């Protein structure tokens, strides 16, 4: 009979996610996960499977508890143009505060693993499509409310905003300069004028 595993699965996943987020998949060892979670190696394997399965569970947790919640909150609680700007501004604020250059877990992983791992590539592509859909809904709503001109094509604007956001996120890792990042946001928002 195996020893009963007594720990909060989501808390362990969140701690493991922080390790993968800070170091990347390749540079994070199972020993790093053991050290950061306090859960022994055998229990990790029994609960989550191998390192890749643990990582995929962390990626799903991030998507569910961070990315989707942020988009839902912005859509429900902000006017469309403000919702779009707030999404960009959140990354700028995170990047320019002390110790804030972690970037976006999803984008970091897209750069590291998506070219080599079809499951990760599909997961990232689906998540990015959902972000693009958020932008498209906000643009359509803004057009309905008269705050975005009718000449702005919703689909094109959404794709451009997604590309600008992903570029911004990459820049937050390599050049977390407030003036640079603010310029990227302003340029992206000009698509809606």
Q: Kindly calculate the radius of gyration of the chain based on its CA atoms and give it in whole angstroms.
A: 19
CB count within 10 Å of CB 159 equals 15
For 114, the 3-state DSSP assignment is coil
In this structure, are 23 and 107 located in the same domain? no
**Is the four-CA dihedral 32, 38, 41, 47 of positive or negative sign?**
negative
CB 52 within 8 A of CB 26: no
CATH number of residue 95's parent domain: 1.10.357.10
- The reported pLDDT for the residue numbered 180 is 95
User: Which residues in the chain come in under a pLDDT of 50?
Assistant: 1-4
Q: Note the pLDDT of residue 176.
A: 86
Q: Specify the pLDDT at position 96.
A: 86
95 and 51 in a single domain? The answer is no
Query: How does pLDDT run across 141-176, given as a tens digit for each residue?
Result: 999 999 999 999 999 999 999 999 999 999 988 888
Instruction: Find how far residue 168's CA is from the centre of its chain.
Output: 12
Which two tokens mark 145?
A: 């409310």
Same domain, 84 and 130: yes
Q: For position 44, which CATH number holds?
A: 1.10.10.60
142 and 91 fall within a common domain: yes
Q: Do 102 and 183 lie in a common domain? A: yes
Q: Does the predicted TM-score (pTM) go above 0.85?
A: yes
The residue range of the domain holding 3 is: 1-58
Instruction: Report how far residue 10's alpha carbon sits from residue 23's, in angstroms, rounded to the nearest whole number.
Output: 20
One domain, residues 98 and 156: yes
Quote the pLDDT of residue 3.
Answer: 46
């Amino acid at each position: 009979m195996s020893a009963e595993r007594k720990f909060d699965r989501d808390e362990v996943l969140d701690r493991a996610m922080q390790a993968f987020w800070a170091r990347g998949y390749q540079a994070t060892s199972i020993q790093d996960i053991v050290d950061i979670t306090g859960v022994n190696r055998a229990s990790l394997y029994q609960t989550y499977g191998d390192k890749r399965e643990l990582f995929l569970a962390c990626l799903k947790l991030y998507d569910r508890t961070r990315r989707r919640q942020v988009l839902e909150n912005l859509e429900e609680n902000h006017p469309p143009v403000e919702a779009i700007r707030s999404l960009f501004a959140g990354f700028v604020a995170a990047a320019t505060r002390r110790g804030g250059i972690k970037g976006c877990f999803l984008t970091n992983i897209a750069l590291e693993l998506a070219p080599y791992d079809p499951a990760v590539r599909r997961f990232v592509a689906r998540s990015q499509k959902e972000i693009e859909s958020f932008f498209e809904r906000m643009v359509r709503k803004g057009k309905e409310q008269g705050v975005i001109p009718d000449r702005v094509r919703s689909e094109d604007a959404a794709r451009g905003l997604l590309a600008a956001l992903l570029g911004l996120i990459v820049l937050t890792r390599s050049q977390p300069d407030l003036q640079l990042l603010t310029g990227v946001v302003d340029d992206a928002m000009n698509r809606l004028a």
